[in-house]
Amino acid sequence: MNPTTTRVVITGASSGIGAATAIAFARDGAMLVLAARGKEGLDEVARQCREAGGSAEVRVLDVTDPQAVAAFALEAQDILGEIDLWFSDVGIGVVGKYAEVPLEDHRRVIEANLLGHMHDAHAVLPVFQRQGHGIWVNMISFGGFVASPYSAAYAASKFGLRGFSEALRAELREHPDIHICDVYPTFVDTPGFRHAANYTGAKLSYPPGTLAPEKVADAVVGLASQPRDTTVIGAPAALMKVSELAAPLPAMLLGRFMDAWSKRADRTGDTAGALYEPERGASGIHSGQRQGASQQNTALMVGAGLALGVLGWQLLRRRERDY
């Protein structure tokens, strides 16, 4: 084995950002072990990885099962020899007003998005400590700083992931070669909305300015050689700090946007999406919606962004006066 080859594990690798990241690593000749619930999607991504120049093994895995994740980590280590980078990318969602969504769906989001990542970390950190090195990449999202009305469980999971990473970094301060890296993209053009449970009665669509999954993938690949605590993609990092100062206004603005959107969007029936079972077939990397945003949605998003920026500027001015 080439000693410079990066050895990578990705959970949530069958579609979207996970799939794009696997292929990006493969172009650099990485050795990959890919996991997700959907075998067909994994097989397709693995095929593309091999065509791109990497090697890829796949395993069907539900990260909500901690024993299965622990066994998978040991198997991945056995396949790769060592694990240089583990990317926890599992993410699901349910859209709808909190009290109108079945509680079991909210619970499923927390189990996958928060506990699933915690299961990953619990399995791989002992591997890193035995090796003396390793990078754990925690996919969070801009939603780890700005609460998402109509996605309360998703917001809880992402805020929880941010605190979890901060706690791990503090615990690992005496292990300088073990890194906890958080990634915070804004909206990304993946099949995520198609997979989401939806109780709004409105057809889900992405807002203007969604990121290509490949852009996020390139950022994750970059962490293998230059790990850092926080990577923000699609917005200035300072905006996250402003949103903290401005809370709860960002959530209120987003709530008004969601109220307006849910009344105007095309109608559809309620669905549990892929919360409990993976979508049949290969989901792919993209949603195919990036060109479909309406001018009305653009105006709403731009207006909310401007209001947030003005408020942040006012709060910063006030803080300066207080000091």
Q: How far is 313 from 310, CA to CA, in rounded Å?
A: 5
To the query of whether residue 154 is one of the catalytic residues in this protein, the response is yes
User: For residue 201, what are its two tokens?
Assistant: 């009665």
Please state whether the peptide bond connecting residue 248 to the residue before it is cis, i.e. omega within 30 degrees of 0.
Answer: yes
Contact 93, 188 (CB under 8 A): no
Helix (H) or strand (E) holding 31: strand 31-36
Contact 65, 123 (CB under 8 A): no
CA distances from residue 110 to 32, 36, 155, 158, 159 in whole angstroms, order as listed: 27, 17, 10, 9, 11
Residue 164, Cα to own-chain centre: how many angstroms?
15
Helix (H, G, I), strand (E, B) or coil at 286: coil
Burial 202-223 (b: 16+ CB within 10 A, else e): bebbbbbebbebbebbebbbeb
Instruction: Please pick, among 154, 184, 199, 206, the residue that the annotation labels catalytic.
Output: 154
Burial 92-124 (b: 16+ CB within 10 A, else e): bbbbbeeeebeeebbebbbbbbbbbbbbbbebb
Active site residues: 154
